């Protein structure tokens, strides 16, 4: 009997052609999401029926989805974050879960650095002025010599550190799972410290933590009030790391200078009041949305899925 693989990421149709070819060569039938939208839980339950494996993007892989998929043996994440997958339910049901760790690190890190420059020079203001026929300017700040605080030193956080080191920034970081003897800590002169110190001392803070019960809303009113008034916040990780109403108040009241995010608790955000602020930038979850990252994620997620399913054969 032919094994079936459900592929949900919207960019897979273009970037995943070689990966789909590999799956088909190995005898797997692929079911691809061609709707242009992420699936809902109900759609996932319907689409997963009869699937032996899933390559999943941001679609919900809940306990209901997993329990309804009686043939399902493997879930391969197209990316690194696993917060949309019920890992405990998967463990109980003996469904293996893998992720394409590191494949999007450069793309997300480049966006984080790009957002730092965008905030430091208020590029949207100047570009908007000239588009309207004006020539208005706002005085910016240099990034060289500034202190960058990195919360989370996984693949993406380390890549941000590498780039920031090349820009001449001072780098401090917090990650409870990183050892001070790590080669990257030494190579880029990273000072490992606590969250409180990073909040108080950094000129720029960039978030690269996974979403867990402990990290949800880690950037809240209390955290923001500890930051410098001239500091900037960048979030290319998960929207729920930031308490968005507290961020709005902080930006309106000058508690911090500005913030840029590529993620939001609800995507798209609708008419959230943060979008009315000149010192807030939101991009449409484009961190990993590059040709290179998509191709690497597609192939890695296919290879991970094959390794699980073929080892069980």
Q: Write out the catalytic residue numbers.
A: 238, 267, 285
Six-digit token pair at 249? Answer: 């108040």
CA distances from 127 to 111, 131, 132, 158, 258 (A): 18, 6, 9, 31, 17
Quick one: residue 263, left, alpha or beta (phi over 0 = left, psi -120 to 50 = alpha)? beta
Strand partners, 77: 56, 99
């Amino acid at each position: 009997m032919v094994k079936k693989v459900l592929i949900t990421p919207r960019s897979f149709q273009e970037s995943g052609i070689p990966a789909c070819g590999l799956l088909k060569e190995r005898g797997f039938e692929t079911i691809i999401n061609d709707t242009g939208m992420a699936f809902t839980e109900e759609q996932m339950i319907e689409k997963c029926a009869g699937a032996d494996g899933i390559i999943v993007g941001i679609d919900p892989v809940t306990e209901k989805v997993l329990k309804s998929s009686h043939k399902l043996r493997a879930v391969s994440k197209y990316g690194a974050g696993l917060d949309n997958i019920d890992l405990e339910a998967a463990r109980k049901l003996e469904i293996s879960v893998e992720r394409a760790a590191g494949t999007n690190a450069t793309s997300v890190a480049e966006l984080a650095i790009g957002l730092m420059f965008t905030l430091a020079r208020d590029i949207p203001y100047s570009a908007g002025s000239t588009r309207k026929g004006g020539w208005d300017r706002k005085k910016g700040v240099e990034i060289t010599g500034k202190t960058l605080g990195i919360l989370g030193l996984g693949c993406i956080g380390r890549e941000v550190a590498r780039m920031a080191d090349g820009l001449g920034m001072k780098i401090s970081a917090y990650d409870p799972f990183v050892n001070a003897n790590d080669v990257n800590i030494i190579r880029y002169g990273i000072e490992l410290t606590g969250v409180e110190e990073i909040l108080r001392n950094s000129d720029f803070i960039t978030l690269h933590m996974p979403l867990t019960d402990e990290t949800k809303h880690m950037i809240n009113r209390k955290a923001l009030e500890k930051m410098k008034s001239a500091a900037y916040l960048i979030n290319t990780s998960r929207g729920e790391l930031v308490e968005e109403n507290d961020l709005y108040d902080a930006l309106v009241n000058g508690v911090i200078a500005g913030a840029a995010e590529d993620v939001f608790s609800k995507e798209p955000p609708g008419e959230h009041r943060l979008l009315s602020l000149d010192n807030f930038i939101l991009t449409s979850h484009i961190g990993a949305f590059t040709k290179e990252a998509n191709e690497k994620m597609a192939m890695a997620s296919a290879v991970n899925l094959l390794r699980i399913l073929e080892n069980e054969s």
